[in-house]
Chains A and B, each alone.
Chain A
């Protein structure tokens, strides 16, 4: 009986905290449409339904709320199956980091951690197709993937070294959908980041790990000029789910 009362108190308390610790990330609707994957052995249009996307990447502060609520994701407790030793390496300890990165995108988080964060927010990680669909919008165009200036802007970012302290979220530009920072701040995890299988196929041998990006010339790409997309696919495919990388963050969708 005592236990039952404690349980009720606990549940009630959790409900209360949930209200306060919800992160500030607004979501905006993204109009669905057709998307042709950059390259695939199976290249064809995929239809993406309407969805909603976080306006900003998840910040250190947002992530702090998460680890406070789910202690199993604190850096001292997270299992090595789910995150490598670089997990939150830029934090001082389980729950503190330099104040100046409070509103910077959280990085050094694994795919598992990002996925769990989104689930706990009642959201999910975007598919690569969804992410790319939202990210092809420039400030003014819903699809700027053929826009030279837009692509050049992205390439300029890609070619710059990472700043020591990542700028705050919202410091790049607001795109057609009202989403910030899809380009120009950090790379972002997607749910199926590793689905671009480019060497061999079911019948082939699978020396996948080492040869994935060496045979670039043979990619069946739809648009070889889109170098920035190549960079994103290359980056994603070089990741493993437990990797925590200094320039990979994430955002969620619904």
Chain B
């Protein structure tokens, strides 16, 4: 009981300090997550991720299921990610097919450790219903998450990943086609560049992370 009280006191104090320290940006969430680790220190959370983890991005994202999430949600599993836009005529379906090739090559046991993530570079058009339609069309299962955010968060994540994106006047995008393998802590462990390259090396890298 006393212990609980101490924890509570600590939480309150930390919240106050966090408010004090951060006024620009949304660092608050970071502090709150840190408090949670007092309770459970085995899981990967905001407090024990490396500096180079993409989970350090504070942005909020919306999924195909209308859920609002932070990137830390992808902690504790290996993530195969790519930036796409669903109105894409040719390259994106191919990049999705390339990821599916990776997915199909994994054993069912391996699949349990891996998640697939499509990050929209077209937040204006890629809404949850559009994502759901796209998932159906491409037969994406429950291991896949499609997310979009604000334009600013999109530009930020593209910069973190080193994706070059350029909006074209016809509403499309020029972009690099790269598949990213994130380790359980959100650090880019491997990049598969280009379309229709053999997934062998990527699979090897995924297995190294298991």
Contact = CB atoms under 8 A, between A and B. Distances in A.
Contacts of B169: 42, 44
B19 A81 contact: no
Interface string A142-173: 00000000000000000000000000000000
Contacts, number: 96
Which of the four size classes fits the interface of chain A?
A: 35 or more
A170 B177 CA distance: 42
Contact of B166 (A10, A197, A205, A241): A197
A40 B170 CA distance: 14
Interface range, B side: 35 or more
A7 B56 contact: no
Interface string A216-254: 000000000000000000000000110000000000000
A201 B176 CA distance: 8
Contacts of B20: 6-7, 10, 14
B164 A195 contact: yes
A108 to B, nearest CB: 18
A92 B142 CA distance: 51
A72 interface: yes
Contact of A191 (B53, B155, B167, B193): B155
A196 interface: yes
A7 B164 contact: no
A91 interface: no
Contacts of A203: 90-91
B38 interface: no
A214 interface: no
Interface string A114-147: 0110011000000000000000000000000000
Interface in B1-30: 12-13, 15-16, 19-25, 27
Interface string A187-198: 000011011110
A112 interface: yes
B56 A79 contact: yes
Contacts of A41: 168, 174
Contact of A208 (B21, B89, B164, B168): B164
Given A3-B16, A14-B23, A197 B52 contact: no
The interface centre, meaning the residue of A6, A81, A112 with most chain B CB atoms within 10 A of its CB, is A81
A10 B166 CA distance: 43
A206 B166 contact: no
Given A81-B53, A207-B194, A195 B166 contact: yes
B140 interface: no
A205 B23 contact: no
Interface in B86-138: 88-91
Interface in B155-175: 155-156, 159-160, 162, 164-169, 172-175
Contacts of A32: none
Contact of A195 (B156, B165, B178): B165
Most chain A CB within 10 A, of B27, B88, B91, B167, is at B91
A191 B155 CA distance: 9
A82 interface: yes
Interface string B41-71: 0000000000111101100000000000000
Nearest to B55: A81
B21 A71 contact: yes
16 contacts: A3-B16, A6-B16, A41-B168, A79-B52, A81-B57, A116-B24, A194-B164, A195-B164, A195-B165, A195-B167, A196-B166, A202-B88, A205-B195, A206-B194, A207-B194, A241-B160
Interface of B: 12-13, 15-16, 19-25, 27, 51-54, 56-57, 88-91, 155-156, 159-160, 162, 164-169, 172-178, 193-195
Q: Shortest 3 CB-CB distances between A and B: which pairs?
A: A241-B159, A79-B51, A205-B194
